[in-house]
Each structure stands twice: as C-alpha cells, then as structure tokens.
Structure 1
Amino acid sequence: MYYEWDSDEKETLGGHDAQYLAYSEASEDTEFIDDVFAVHVVNWYDEAEGATHSLSVAGKDINGLDLEVVVENMMK
C-alpha cells in the first residue's frame, strides 16, 4: 500500500510490538457529507511464530471498526 499515511503509531497489542497506520481522503463530491475513503492497517511481529502479520481494511465508512480490537481478539 503506497499511501502518504496520516497516522503512523507504534503500539503494543496482545504483548506484541505493532504498527498502526491510517489514511483518509475526503471526496470532492459535496453531495455526500460522509463520503470519505479510508485505509487502516495494523502490522505486528510474532516472535514465537517467527512471522510478521498484517491486517487491513479499506472503505468509505470504517470509523466504527477498531482494528486494534480485532487484532487483540485474533491473538487470544
């Protein structure tokens, strides 16, 4: 994904170092107030597995989806 990220944060999720990236772009169509395209990505490295994982979501209305919660539930 080659976006100019609006947010690039380091966090700890489920005991793993993680990177959270976010991008959003407002549509130029003034007819739609909520017409915003957004991308959220969480990357983390699992030392026990020796693997890097990535979870992403893209769409027009993803504000209600919290990828951090999804990732933590996946790690249980």
Structure 2
Amino acid sequence: METQVTTTRQRVWVTTAEACTALGMSRETLRRLRLRGVLTPGKHYRRWGCTQGRGPLQWHLENVEATITGWSRRHLQH
C-alpha cells in the first residue's frame, strides 16, 4: 500500500517552523514583517487553537511568498 506524503506546499496553512523552512527565512524575519504590517492577519497568517488570541500562528505560504516577493522588489531596489 502506498503512503501519500503531504508536502508543505500542498497544505494551505502551515506552522511557523514549516513556513520558515519553505520560505528560507527566520522566525524573527516573519515576526518583523508581521509587526510592520507587511503581512496581515487573515490573509497571511492566523492564530489557531482555543487560547483566546494567544495560540500559535499558522501561515498561508502562497500569500506570504507573493507579498514578500512584491514587497522586496519595491523596497530593495537600488
């Protein structure tokens, strides 16, 4: 019987650790982008669990990647 492997790219919402690995960036970079408003709740990340807004974050990889790519092009031009 074959085992189906679910890759990070196949899932819509992933953990912070999985997002860091897939995007090649640190937790601190994700945190800074979130605090600066580059990444927004609902579109790029959400909290999960029943912890009254203090649960761990999940990340929408496709939206985060698209936003970071566009943001980097605009803000890192020389």
With the shorter chain as reference, the TM-score category is under 0.3
- Greater strand proportion: 1
Higher helix share: 2
Q: Scaled by the length of structure 1, what TM-score is found? A: 0.27
Q: TM-score, structure 2 length as denominator?
A: 0.26
Higher RCO (CA-CA < 8 Å; seq separation 6+): 2
